[in-house]
Structure 1
Amino acid sequence: MTPQEIFDYSVRHMRKQGVQAKSYDTCQYLTDQGLSCAIGCFIKDDPELCYELDDCENAAIDDVFDEFKDQLPDWMGNNLPLLVSLQSLHDFYLDTSGFEEGVIRMADKHGLKVPA
């Protein structure tokens, strides 16, 4: 996937879902209710992997990537800075009125276009 494809897919997923993927006030890759985060939406078809990632003490994608890289899509390793930004957008802005502003800032930061 290209950075633009990653950005488009994740932002559209977050807009459609409209709420954070949270359980017990903690963001998760995949919740028991089927909600997925900005990165979990790419791997939600592998719930066991999502649950393993969520069990990590620090589950930020850049902190867990090396440990799980054989189970994650190859393109993720080449796009970690973008994935970290998307994870932050989900964790801190999805449930706020600042979400769309965050999308615009992120697009600018990464040289991408805001998806429609």
Structure 2
Amino acid sequence: MNDESGLEVSQASEEKAKRRRGPVFTLTEEQVFHRCEQRKHSRICAGQVLALRDLMCRAGWSIKALAGHANVSISHLSDFLNVKKFFTTECLFRVARAFGLLLSRFDKMAEARAAA
């Protein structure tokens, strides 16, 4: 491979990375709290969703990227982020670990978001 073709591949990779979209969330923060309230869930439910969204934004991860890092299905993540399902403790552990966090640290982040 000569320098020109290597440069072309590098430029193509950079352009592809720029086109990748970051996380897109269909619900506003208010809607997340409202859905949890409608479903008779505690505020910590909304806090977990919002804390996860914050982490995804900071990392620039889409649901697909998080699914790969956490070994959790895309559909399960989508359902969680849209307040359709709860995470099990195991799923919460995997998600926290994907971001390099202990579950206790993720819980504290969720509690802080729930209190807001």
Compute the TM-score of the two structures, normalised by the length of structure 2: 0.35
Give the number of the structure whose alpha-carbon radius of gyration is greater: 2
Q: Which structure carries more helix by proportion?
A: 2
